[in-house]
Amino acid sequence: MGAGTWTVCDAFTGGASNHRRSIHLPAFLAPAIGSGMFSGRVEKVGVIGLGIVGSRVAENLRKAQKHVYVWSRTPKPEPNFMGSPAEIAANADAVQIFVTNGEALIQVIEAMEPNLNRGHLILNHATIDVATTRKAAQIVEAHGASFLDCPFTGSRMAAEKGQLVYYAGGDAAVLDKARPLLAVTSKHILHVGGIGDATVLKITTNMISGATVQILSEALAVTEAHGIDGQKLLEALGHNACCSDLIRMKLPSILNENYEPHFSLKNMFKDAQIALALANAKKIETPALSTTASVMFKTLQQGHGEEDYSVLAANYRKTGEADHAS
């Protein structure tokens, strides 16, 4: 394709199909894509991975009048659904990636490689292991593009409201240029260090979340087994120093046995496995995490992987109710 030849996508908002045609523009009209290092003036954004968070990030970017191109392994009726990650890179200045694991991230990065250049910013929002994060950065940077290790905290509702919190690892100058884009879908952006550091912090915070829901489930089981309504535990926690936003969010759903996914059990278990590997690499014993991971695995085997990780409580509630009834 010549320097002044560009692909035009006429996407139907009601379906996944696109009509594409090539047009030739004079050089003075052609956009200066790839002519220099990522500038931070992002108007064309790619979103790869349209799960619970990625789909909502894409919608908020559209509301902010960005030109959004999307792709996921499962075709979805989204505006500008492209045919491949390579097409995303060909059309977007910045690409935000929300895949589920490290293998998927590398596959996406390698698929984009032919079209990566100095004008691109690649943001990995997937929670994966540190080694794969750094491998992805090396591939991207070998093409002159910029990379940020940028996992987030916040689930479905935070993503819907544009209230995520991003932990950013990478060059401070690149982050400064990326901030206007990240600000569209977040309430805070924290620079925590270099590439890989944000991944470690995301994993360690998820260690706390997973163990918290596990001990909350156990506490509720003991409460109900002794004939006390679970609502009383919620009230008591509201006046106790151990209470947290996580408990206030999860316990009411547990009491209603509502395990609609905000963050799935399978993904929390994946993060627990990464956390165990991080600890083992430094010879740190993690009995609380190990126990929680064991219960997660048991619950996964029961077929609850797609439900919210608060479904851990389902292991205890039926037992507690049965004991109380007897």
Q: Which domains does the chain have, with CATH numbers?
A: 10-193 (3.40.50.720), 200-325 (1.10.1040.10)
Q: Which residues pair with 70 in a beta bridge?
A: 47, 81
Using DSSP bridges, classify how beta strands 152-153 and 164-169 pair: parallel, antiparallel or unpaired. Answer: antiparallel
Q: Cβ(213)–Cβ(309) under 8 Å?
A: yes
How far is the C-alpha of 250 from the C-alpha of 247, rounded, in Å? Answer: 5
For 263-283, write each residue's pLDDT tens digit: 999 999 999 999 999 999 999
Q: Which helix (H) or strand (E) holds 211?
A: helix 197-225
Q: Do you know the residue count of the chain?
A: 326
How far is the C-alpha of 175 from the C-alpha of 16, rounded, in Å? Answer: 32
Q: What angle do CA 199, 203, 208 make, to 5 degrees?
A: 150
Is 326 a residue whose pLDDT tops 90?
Answer: no
For 141-174, write each residue's pLDDT tens digit: 999 999 999 999 998 899 999 999 999 999 999 9
Sequence-ordered list of residues with C-beta below 8 angstroms from that of 36, at least 6 positions apart, any chain: 118, 119
- Looking up tokens 């794969």, which residue turns up? 132
What's the whole-model pTM score? 0.84
Q: pLDDT value at position 17? A: 42
Q: What is the CA radius of gyration of the chain?
A: 22
For 231-271, write each residue's pLDDT tens digit: 999 999 999 999 999 999 999 999 999 999 999 999 999 99
